């Protein structure tokens, strides 16, 4: 039983650390442009959820579109077409029943590789931590958005640090003992690190 629990925890951390995200688009007439366009990374999933009972589909004529991308024409409110993007590219898509009012663009970029993440020279310390975490960041001119997740993926703390306040770190003494994921976004890169709270 313990082995199963620990296997689950490691799988969960692998999922969160890899950064895969699922995005939802309510797919109905007059959903287009910004409301139907996303910038995502490889490995992310987009779900188109039919917002009414009219006939809709999701198709693309783009050369960048994967061969298996696209749905059938369905007339069912709440129907979900889901696609996980595994290659970078820019895919323009539309509903061929309502092409003038239902269209968007999915821009897929590569995930930051492990080697590239190591080159960011970003560090969270001390780890394990008792009271306060600090950040070592080579790019000290940007604000840092910091989000801390528990093992279930729930946000337990979030903060924004300016270049002037970054040296103060973040107070974490109120967190329970355990394992957390700390996600830091400097506006250009996102970095995730496991944190042990004593």
Distance CA 164, CA 141 (A): 9
Predicted local confidence at residue 89, as pLDDT: 85
Looking at domain 114-197, does it have CATH number 2.60.40.3080?
yes
Tens of pLDDT, residue by residue, the chain (198 residues): 444 443 444 444 444 444 578 899 999 999 998 899 988 888 889 999 999 999 999 999 988 789 899 999 999 999 999 999 988 888 999 999 999 999 999 988 876 544 444 445 678 899 889 999 998 765 666 788 899 988 777 889 999 988 888 888 999 999 998 888 888 888 777 788 888 898
Distance CA 17, CA 179 (A): 13
Predicted local confidence at residue 19, as pLDDT: 54
Predicted local confidence at residue 120, as pLDDT: 53
As beta bridge partners, residue 27 has: 50
Predicted local confidence at residue 3, as pLDDT: 43
Radius of gyration of the chain (CA): 20
User: What is the number of residues in the chain?
Assistant: 198
The domain covering 22-109 belongs, at the CATH homologous superfamily level, to Cupredoxins -  blue copper proteins (2.60.40.420)
CATH topology match: 22-109 vs 114-197: yes
- DSSP secondary structure letter of residue 167: G
Distance CA 198, CA 86 (A): 38
Predicted local confidence at residue 152, as pLDDT: 77
List the chain domain ranges: 22-109, 114-197
């Amino acid at each position: 039983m313990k082995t199963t629990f620990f296997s689950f925890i490691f799988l969960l951390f692998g999922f969160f650390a890899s950064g895969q995200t699922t995005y939802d688009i309510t797919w109905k007439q007059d959903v287009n442009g910004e409301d139907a366009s996303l910038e995502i990374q490889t490995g992310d999933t987009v779900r188109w959820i039919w917002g009414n009972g009219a006939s809709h589909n999701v198709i693309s004529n783009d050369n960048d579109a994967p061969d298996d991308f696209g749905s059938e024409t369905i007339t069912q409110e709440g129907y979900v077409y889901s696609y996980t993007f595994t290659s970078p590219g820019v895919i323009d898509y539309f509903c061929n029943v309502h092409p003038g009012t239902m269209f968007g663009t999915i821009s897929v970029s590569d995930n930051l590789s492990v080697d590239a993440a190591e080159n960011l020279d970003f560090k969270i310390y001390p780890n394990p931590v008792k009271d306060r975490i600090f950040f070592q960041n080579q790019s000290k001119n940007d604000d840092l958005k910091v989000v801390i997740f528990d093992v279930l993926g729930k946000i337990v703390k979030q903060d924004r640090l300016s270049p002037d306040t970054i040296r103060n770190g973040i107070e974490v003494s109120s967190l329970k003992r355990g394992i957390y994921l700390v996600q830091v976004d400097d506006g250009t890169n996102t970095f995730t690190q496991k944190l042990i709270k004593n």
